[in-house]
Amino acid sequence: MLDAGPNRPSAFHVVGGQFHTVFREGEYTLRDGGSTGTGGSQVLALQPAEGGFVEVTFPEAGTYPFVSHVMSDAEKGATGRVVVTP
């Protein structure tokens, strides 16, 4: 993910998913599920011009929407979906 900005932060969130690995700005903030091994992060928060990635395993088949938590943008269509098939 990259928050291309130019002036608002972004918080990438997959509804129904829990990240087990989070990498932001050259550093892991959560790796391999953390101390419990089961994950724990729900958001990758980025400032303008920052980047990172997450890893998530979905618990079951379904459609998992994602947003940036800038809800005014989501209302304008800035959303997406991850479709997981059995």
Per-residue pLDDT of the chain (86 residues; tens, 9 = 90+): 999 888 889 999 999 999 999 999 999 999 988 887 776 899 999 999 999 999 999 989 999 999 988 888 889 988 999 999 99
- Report pTM: 0.84
Question: Before 6, cis peptide (omega within 30)?
Answer: yes
